[in-house]
Amino acid sequence: MAGVSNKTITKTKPVWAGDFLSREHVLPGGVRLDATSFVAGPDGKKRAVAGTPVGKKNNETTWGPAADDDDQVRLLAFDSPDIDANADGDLYRPGGLVYTDKLPVTPSAAVLTKLKATYDCTTGGGY
C-alpha cells in the first residue's frame, strides 16, 4: 500500500529535475504503481526510472506509464527497480522545475502538454 517513504533523501538531483529531490520536492504519501501496465526487462523485472511520466484516470487508484487519455500525469521522483516486488512510487511535486529534453523517455505531445500544465517545464538545462 502506498505510504510515506522513509528512504534516505540526499541533496542530489537527477538531470531532468531543476530542484534537489529533498523532502519538499516529493509528494507525501506516495502512489501505487500498476505492475500489469509496465513491461518486464530482459531479467524479468518490471522497472520505472526516475523521471518516467506516470498517469491515471480520475476513477483509477493505481498509476501506470502515462497515456494520452490520462486525467493526471506526474513524474516519478525515484527509481522503482522491481514493481512486482514493491509497487510503491514517489512522485515529484507539481510546480517543480523539469527539463523535458532530459527526461528518460520522450513523452507524446499530449503527455508533454499535461506535464507543462503540472510542472515548470523548460529545455536545455540540467548538467
Q: What does the domain layout of the chain look like in residue ranges?
A: 23-122
84 backbone dihedrals φ, ψ, rounded to 5°? -65, -40
Contact criterion met (CB below 8 Å) for 16 and 51:
yes
Q: What is the pLDDT of residue 71?
A: 97
**CATH top-level class for 23-122?**
mainly beta
Flag residues of the chain having pLDDT under 70. Answer: 1-13, 125-127
Q: What is the pLDDT of residue 50?
A: 92
The SS3 of residue 108 is coil
Tally Cβ neighbours within 10 Å of residue 26: 20
Q: What is the pLDDT of residue 2?
A: 55
pLDDT tens by residue, 69-100: 999 999 999 899 999 999 999 999 999 999 99
Integer Cα distance of 20 and 29 in angstroms: 19
The SS3 of residue 110 is helix
